Amino acid sequence: MRVLVTGGAGFIGSHVVEALAARGHEPVVFDVREDAESDVRDPEAVARALSGMDAVCHQAAMVGLGSGFTDAAEYVSRNDLGTAVLLTAMADAGVRHLVLAGSMVVYGEGRYLCARHGVVRPGPRAVTDLAAGRFEPRCPVCAEELSPGLVGEDAPADPRNVYATTKLAQEHLAAAWARATGGSAVSLRYHNVYGPRMPRDTPYAGVASFFRSALARGEAPRVYEDGRQRRDFVHVRDVAAANAAALEADSAPGALTAYNTGSGEPHTVGEMARALAAAYGGPEPVVTGEYRLGDVRHITADSSRLRTGLGWKPEVGFAEGMREFARARLRGE
């Protein structure tokens, strides 16, 4: 299968290219990093790149929480306009198979259980609570403590920042394209991806990159809030394997299917920082109590649909992955 991999020179995209090639496919990289004309927002460039392709693996995106709302237009341009241009060109070229790099950020907060009211969805955390160090969401009905759990693909979307909003819009665009063309679309909702070639600390990098970059400078990783916020850290090679499995699957025509793509093993951010620091050889993390508006408290995945539907399972365990990542080269180093 000839597969156009947008963003194929990036962190996740480069691993997807390797995974596809190892399984006998012919990946073709389309990435502005390698060619200034390979901008997914350029209809002519995209149309040329789609010639002879059987499928598209769409990894190109502006990622991360960014810098508040000041870069909203750039997020929308790169993520949503770019996706619309790509899908239009796919419709014209007769390419009917899409795998989209989705994100768990579309859910907002994760799944919570109240002892009195069952499953509830707390709203965004108040600045006054965050400033006072009250980080845990409370039941929106009785204000009692909640127990976090695993979020499934059928949970309602509730994006809490600009990036999250653009990722949800990408899914809606892909679903509309699938209905209009009879194509098949899969969105792999990545959880916290880490591993070799991760970009260095920028406003758009993930927390694992921030911690790893600090250690490389001889500085202690700075852990926000109290370090007890839960995430699902999934290795980039496992994510690449999920992309290959999705491309090879017989997906339903005329619709978009979403799959959570996580390790299935929740860990706190503090745990991750300590494991990474220990593997690197110090220094120990510092819990700062600082916070970022737009961050959610707990978001961890139920990835059973991906396991049963596509026969995928993660291969890299948390401890093994952190040991490797502690010595891995970051992009930009």
For the residues of 311-329, what is the DSSP string, one character each?
Answer: -----S-HHHHHHHHHHSP
What is the mean pLDDT of the segment spanning 126-133? 96
Is residue 204 in a domain? yes
Is residue 134 in a domain? no
- When divided into structural domains, the chain yields a total of 1
What is the mean pLDDT of the segment spanning 2-29? 97
163 as an active site residue: the answer is yes
With a cut of 70, say whether residue 67 has pLDDT above it.
no
Interior/surface letters 292-326, b for 16+ CB within 10 angstroms, e for the rest? eebbbbbbbbbbebbbeebebebebebeebbbbbb
Best CA proximity match to 89, nearest among 134, 136, 41, 122: 41
Residues counted in the chain: 333
DSSP, collapsed to helix, strand or coil, labels residue 16 as helix
For 331, phi then psi, to 5°, come to -65, 130
Q: For residues 227 and 268, is the Cβ–Cβ distance under 8 A?
A: yes
- Owning domain of residue 237: 2-110+151-327
Q: What is the helix (H) or strand (E) element at residue 88, kind and residue range?
A: helix 82-93
With a cut of 80, say whether residue 66 has pLDDT above it.
no
Is residue 228 in a domain? yes
Is residue 332 in a domain? no
Q: What are the pLDDT digits (tens) for 232-264?
A: 999 999 999 999 999 999 999 999 999 999 999
Is residue 127 in a domain? no
The pLDDT of residue 36: 74
DSSP, collapsed to helix, strand or coil, labels residue 87 as helix
Residue 30's CATH number: 3.40.50.720
Is residue 117 in a domain? no
What is the mean pLDDT of the segment spanning 102-121? 95
Is residue 71 in a domain? yes
Share of residues in the chain with pLDDT > 90 (%):
88
Is the pTM here over 0.85, yes or no? yes
Q: Which two tokens stand for residue 10?
A: 């990036």
DSSP, collapsed to helix, strand or coil, labels residue 172 as helix
Average pLDDT along the chain:
95
Is residue 121 in a domain? no
With a cut of 80, say whether residue 23 has pLDDT above it.
yes
Best CA proximity match to 39, nearest among 76, 88, 77: 77
DSSP, collapsed to helix, strand or coil, labels residue 204 as coil
DSSP, collapsed to helix, strand or coil, labels residue 255 as strand
d(CA 247, CA 249): 6
The pLDDT of residue 331: 84
What is the mean pLDDT of the segment spanning 97-110? 96
With a cut of 90, say whether residue 46 has pLDDT above it.
yes
The pLDDT of residue 204: 66
Strand-pair category, 146-149 with 230-235: unpaired
Q: What are the pLDDT digits (tens) for 146-184?
A: 999 999 999 999 998 899 999 999 999 999 999 999 999
The 8-class DSSP code of residue 51 comes to T
Q: What are the pLDDT digits (tens) for 215-240?
A: 999 999 999 999 999 999 999 999 99
The 8-class DSSP code of residue 39 comes to -
Of 75, 107, 112, 163, catalytic: 163
